[in-house]
């Protein structure tokens, strides 16, 4: 993972030592309360991103946004995306990245709040990548669900299960879970089957 980050850092011409920047990110993603929102999730997102490289308008901003989109993650807070976006903005400004580049990264991270459908094509890619886990093989999806439960272990079952069911149902209620044709074709059907099974197990 460090090599992947250093490769990106070289491409975007970051001023700071990439080892130091990566280690800061690594320490955040290695916090003990993270069972899903860790570097394994980031690695999966990066692999999904590489599969749509030809569709991206600004590949480097998408990649850097992926690195930072869950940098701040506290399950008892509801402003993680905002704080992650602010952290990325600080890093961009510290390294003298252009205002346009910085703004793109900031907005890409904020888009992962999943509040409405964006018009920006790269934001659609970002959201689909963030939800790609929903369309994985059943054993991988089950591990994801188990890890989410571990992150909210302090929440009693009688509260967690209905709330989790509500969140999952919100994806089923969409006309389409995924916003791009590529991810619709790749994951839509599997994701819906996975979610239906998970809701059934939660009841």
H-state helical runs in 112-180: 121-130, 138-151, 157-172
Residue-by-residue pLDDT tens, the chain, 203 positions: 999 999 999 999 999 999 999 999 999 999 999 999 999 999 999 999 999 999 999 999 999 999 999 999 999 999 999 999 999 999 999 999 999 999 999 999 999 998 888 989 999 999 999 999 999 999 999 999 999 999 999 999 999 999 999 999 999 999 999 999 999 999 999 999 999 999 999 98
State the pLDDT at residue 115. 84
Report the chain's terminal Cα–Cα distance, integer Å: 38
Rounded to two decimals, the pTM is 0.96
State the pLDDT at residue 179. 97
Distances (CA, A) of 161 to 9, 16, 153, 175, 197: 41, 44, 11, 24, 13
Cα separation, 34 vs 36, in Å, equals 6
State the pLDDT at residue 116. 81
H-state helical runs in the chain: 2-11, 18-29, 39-51, 59-68, 80-94, 99-111, 121-130, 138-151, 157-172, 181-202
Q: Which of 52, 92, 87 is nearest to 70 (CA)?
A: 87
Query: Which tokens is 157 given?
Result: 């079952």
CA angle 80, 3, 56 (to 5 degrees): 60
Distances (CA, A) of 112 to 1, 19, 23, 179: 22, 27, 24, 13
Place of tokens 């018009």: 119
State the pLDDT at residue 43. 98
Query: Which tokens is 158 given?
Result: 């009688």
């Amino acid at each position: 993972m460090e090599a992947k980050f250093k490769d990106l850092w070289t491409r975007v011409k970051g001023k700071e030592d990439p080892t130091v920047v990566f280690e800061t990110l690594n320490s955040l993603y290695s916090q003990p309360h993270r069972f899903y929102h860790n570097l394994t999730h980031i690695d999966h997102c990066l692999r999904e991103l590489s599969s749509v490289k030809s569709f991206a308008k600004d590949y480097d901003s998408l990649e850097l946004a992926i690195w930072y989109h869950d940098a701040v993650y506290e399950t008892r807070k509801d402003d993680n995306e905002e704080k992650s976006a602010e952290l990325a903005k600080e890093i961009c400004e510290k390294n003298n990245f252009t205002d346009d580049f910085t703004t793109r990264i900031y907005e890409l991270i904020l888009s992962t709040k999943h509040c409405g459908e964006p018009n920006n094509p790269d934001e659609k890619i970002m959201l689909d990548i963030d939800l790609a886990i929903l369309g994985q093989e059943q054993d991988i999806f089950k591990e994801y669900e188990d890890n989410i439960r571990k992150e909210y272990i302090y929440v009693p079952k009688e509260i967690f299960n209905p709330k989790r069911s509500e969140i999952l149902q919100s994806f089923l209620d969409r006309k389409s879970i995924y916003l791009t044709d590529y991810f619709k074709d790749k994951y839509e059907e599997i994701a819906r089957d996975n979610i239906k099974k998970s809701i059934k197990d939660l009841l």
